[in-house]
Amino acid sequence: MQKGIRNALMLATLPLAIGSAFGQVTLSAETRAASKLLNPGKAGAPAAPAAQAAPAGPTLSAEAKAASGKIYFERCAGCHGMLRKGATGKNLEPANTQKLGSSRLEKIMQYGTEGGMVNFDDILTKQQISDMATYLQMPAEAPPEWSLADIKGSWKLLIPVDKRPTKQMNNVNLKNVFSVTLRDAGEVALIDGDNKKIWAVIKTGYAVHISRLSTSGRYVHVIGRDGRYDLIDLWSETPTTVATLKAGFEARSIETSKFKGYEDKYAVVGSYWPPQYTILDGLTLEPLKNVSTRGNTVDGNYHPEPRVASIVASEIKPEWVINIKETGMIRLVDYSDLKNLKETTINSAKFLHDGGWDSSKRYFLVAANASNKVAVVDTKEGKLAALVDTAKIPHPGRGANFNHPKFGPVWATSHLGADVISIIGTDPAGHPQNAWKVVQEIKNHGANSLFVKTHPKSANLWADAPLNPDPKLAGSVTVYKIADLGGDAKPEVIDVAAAANLGKTKGLQRVVHGEYNANGDEIWFSVWTGNKTEPSAIVVMDDKTRTVKTVIKDPRLVTPTGKFNVYNTMHDIY
């Protein structure tokens, strides 16, 4: 396929329904009601941003349009944006898509791109791909707003604090519990990491993007891509949802307050739409304050859809680091006085995505993936420390911290658009000559990687490539011995999908998101078929021997993706 075709669209991940499809996807009555506002011609609907001028294009029936809108929610808007203005993915407004035409768009969706977009020939039918090609040539519709009053109206305190247990009412080793996203089921599975059995399955929002832990380790906070936020109490005899709300129509990130004296006091949720973050009571999820993220980009241009990408909590200040995707702005939000909220805004680069702390927890490194850079924030000084050039489209997850045998403390990221792992020096005091530069680039087994992982107790560095169109590469992982990185390091490539022994499936068996157990001697990988009617699995690898220890199979494991170990998530260990 020509390079121009392969670069025309980018990675499609898991966002929010637009148009009339919205009500088919979401779970709450208030969201279904809000979907009636999506037609800008109706009374009470918000004014739509000025649409990009385009000639009249193809049309779909109401039913096909609704179905295509649902697919756009589930697969595309996370990278291309609700308004299709682009971010990690290309701008998909009609003036651009109509130039490509239906035939070319269909081929792009069928085969994926070298830039990181997954191939859809094993996920969507030919008719769905054809309809999507038409849908993308039609004008985008502006979703409604979702105010603090709307969030409060959706809030349900299911079990008040004084009605909850005063001690742990089960015998589970909570530190080694994994919160596992069951993407297409709209659930999380809480798996006992000691016995490898599912402890409970909890109904949540669609395609939970992340699970975060309260500072105490008692509560699991989960956010669905449809904006549904659930608070789960692990002290109950069986895990129980104690509060829930709808933060917006599409969301990705949540975090809790971690500074001494604020443990479990607050939580914050960032939305893709409307572009805003909301501060909540950490024990009840009562909405307290809502802050818009609309504004100018680092280039000085106004953007109507600057989405909240990732959030982390400082342990040295009462502060959250909130990353705004489209603007390239990083906000340091001081939560010590909500009535007089203070923000420090740091210019970095577009488009901010995910990242993690260095080993000292002073510096936060975040991928500006469309700029092929990693931004480094010095949270102690409250300023940008560096912009580090990397290979194409860095996608670290939280990244991986380890002591390099030659370069000292480092942090690593893999890439969507390149088959390498970039290793960045992170010790300006002890190793100033290596700080904030790529000190080494090592080969991954393929491009289209989402996560790189290690653990302080591990001697290994692991990376996946689940969005690679080659089934063998998508089902495998790369692992390096960290001690060998100072010399002639050679990786081992392990076919994890084969170890799961799922048999033949229609969808590619994509191996995704390594996560360590609390002891750091096991790493868990999801084998995700991308189809909720087909079997999936979790493969538990012995980190020392790099051999399969256990394969977790259960009919309730519907499309497992992200896994979040309680202890490691509590303490930002990666």
Question: Among residues 117, 138, 329, 541, which one is catalytic?
Answer: 117
Q: What is the pLDDT of residue 494?
A: 98
Q: What is the pLDDT of residue 56?
A: 62
Question: Among residues 209, 303, 395, 415, which one is catalytic?
Answer: 395
CATH fold for the domain made of 3-135: Cytochrome Bc1 Complex; Chain D, domain 2 (1.10.760)
395 is catalytic: yes
Question: Among residues 303, 353, 415, 455, which one is catalytic?
Answer: 353
In sequence order, the β-bridge partners of residue 377 are 364, 384
Q: What is the pLDDT of residue 294?
A: 96
- Give the pTM: 0.84
Task: Tell me the pLDDT of the chain (574 aa) as tens digits.
Answer: 333 333 333 333 333 222 222 223 333 333 333 333 333 233 333 344 444 444 567 899 999 998 998 888 778 887 888 889 887 788 999 999 999 999 999 999 988 876 667 778 878 899 999 999 999 999 988 788 999 999 999 999 999 999 999 999 999 999 999 999 999 999 999 999 999 999 999 999 988 999 999 999 999 999 999 999 999 999 999 999 999 999 999 999 999 999 999 999 999 999 999 999 999 999 999 999 999 999 999 999 999 999 999 999 999 999 999 999 999 999 999 999 999 999 999 999 999 999 999 999 999 999 999 899 999 999 999 999 999 999 999 999 999 999 999 999 999 999 999 999 999 999 999 999 999 999 999 999 999 999 999 999 999 999 999 999 999 999 999 999 999 999 989 999 999 999 999 999 988 999 999 999 999 999 999 999 977 889 999 999 999 999 999 999 999 999 999 999 999 999 999 9
Q: What is the pLDDT of residue 73?
A: 75
Segments making up each domain of the chain, as ranges: 3-135, 444-564
Is CATH 1.10.540.10 correct for 444-564? Answer: no
80 is catalytic: yes
Q: Strands 438-443, 452-453: parallel, antiparallel or unpaired by DSSP?
A: unpaired
Question: Among residues 80, 221, 303, 445, which one is catalytic?
Answer: 80
Residue 383's CB is within 10 A of a number of other CB atoms, namely 11
**Residue 219: which residues within 8 A CB-CB, separation 6 or more?**
213, 231, 232, 233, 234, 242, 264, 282, 283
Q: What is the pLDDT of residue 15?
A: 32
Q: What is the pLDDT of residue 55?
A: 52
Both structure tokens of 472: 């063998």
Q: Are 3-135 and 444-564 in the same CATH fold? A: no
Give CA–CA dist 178/200, Å, rounded: 11
Both structure tokens of 409: 């403390």
Evaluate the CA torsion angle 344, 346, 350, 355 in order and state its sign: negative
513 is catalytic: no
117 is catalytic: yes
Both structure tokens of 372: 């092929």
Q: What is the pLDDT of residue 1?
A: 38
Q: Give the length of the chain.
A: 574
CB 175 within 8 A of CB 188: no
